[in-house]
């Protein structure tokens, strides 16, 4: 009898420990940092498929989007931030809020399906944004773009999704060198970053987007392989992103793996560990 009582006491203590550990982890993830894996190549070469980072939720304050989201496709689990904190989703203001700055790398919730996206902030409220022959125009002024060589990678499946890169010298066969033209783009506030180009695409020339109050315009650094604000949600794009849908800022790559699994240690990119993001 004493043994059974001891086992029950141990079980209760274990359940309590796990419960409070989950509570603490949930609070930490809600208020401070959210882990984020890079699943696609839309931010190359700033971010590569398989990069792992923590999103700084303190950078812009808190909204419903700061609440955790849990998506595990293999188990059919799809719990969004609106499921946890939908009761405050309609609030336009952010607690301890501040707006992101042009050039920041930002994680936000897609305005329609709620998935987490990561892109670079290009347009702030009141801006006029346009692409003309592949060159970004902000408030009718072309940004400075300087050639910076060629970005090269191997044509092969990348990451857990097995995505294959797009190439300026393509199509190329498996194992061949896949090239993209690389340039350094400098935004009006002095923020410089690399962008990639693979040739003429429909989004190289757009109409003028006037960013509404309380909303933002985002683009991927891999300009020809990015689902972003250049295309509306109705056409499977992103469109403008509301302030309340912003999750946080990406500041540093913590870990990186080029393989299908983080446990494949021979594919780890040690040169990217703890790398600050521009």
Residues marked as catalytic: 42, 119
Counting every residue written for the chain, the total comes to 278
d(CA 208, CA 161): 34
DSSP classification of residue 221: S
Q: Which residues contact 173 (CB under 8 A, 6 or more apart)?
A: 155
Q: What tokens were used for 5?
A: 């009582």
CB distance 50 to 258 below 8 Å? yes
Q: For 92-233, where are the alpha helices, taking DSSP H only?
A: none
Partners of residue 277 on adjacent β-strands:
none
Q: For the chain, where are the alpha helices, taking DSSP H only?
A: 2-31, 81-85
User: CB-hemisphere CA count at 13 Å for 108?
Assistant: 29
d(CA 90, CA 244): 8
CB distance 70 to 84 below 8 Å? no
CB distance 168 to 180 below 8 Å? yes
DSSP classification of residue 143: P
């Amino acid at each position: 009898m004493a043994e059974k009582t001891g086992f029950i006491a141990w079980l209760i203590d274990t359940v309590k420990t796990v419960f409070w550990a989950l509570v603490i982890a949930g609070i930490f993830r809600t208020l401070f940092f959210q882990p984020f894996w890079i699943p696609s190549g839309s931010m190359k070469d700033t971010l590569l498929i398989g990069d792992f980072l923590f999103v700084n939720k303190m950078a812009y304050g808190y909204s419903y989007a700061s609440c955790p989201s849990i998506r595990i496709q293999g188990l059919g689990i799809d719990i969004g931030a609106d499921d946890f904190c939908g009761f405050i989703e309609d609030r336009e203001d952010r607690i301890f809020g501040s707006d992101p700055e042009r050039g920041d790398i930002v994680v936000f919730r897609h305005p329609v399906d709620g998935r987490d996206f990561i892109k670079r902030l290009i347009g702030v409220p009141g801006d006029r944004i346009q692409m003309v022959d592949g060159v970004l125009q902000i408030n009718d002024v072309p940004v400075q773009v300087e050639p910076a060589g060629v970005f090269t990678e191997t044509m092969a499946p990348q990451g857990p999704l097995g995505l294959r890169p797009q190439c300026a010298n393509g199509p190329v066969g498996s194992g061949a060198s896949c090239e993209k033209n690389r340039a350094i783009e400098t935004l009006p506030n002095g923020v410089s970053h690399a962008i990639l180009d693979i040739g003429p695409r429909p989004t190289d020339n757009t109409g003028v987007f006037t960013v509404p109050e309380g909303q933002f315009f985002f683009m991927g650094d891999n300009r020809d392989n990015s689902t972003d604000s250049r295309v509306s949600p109705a056409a499977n794009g992103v469109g403008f992103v509301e302030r309340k849908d912003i999750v946080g800022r990406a500041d540093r790559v913590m870990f990186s793996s080029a393989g299908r699994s983080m446990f494949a240690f021979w594919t780890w990119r040690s040169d990217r560990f703890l790398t600050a993001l521009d």
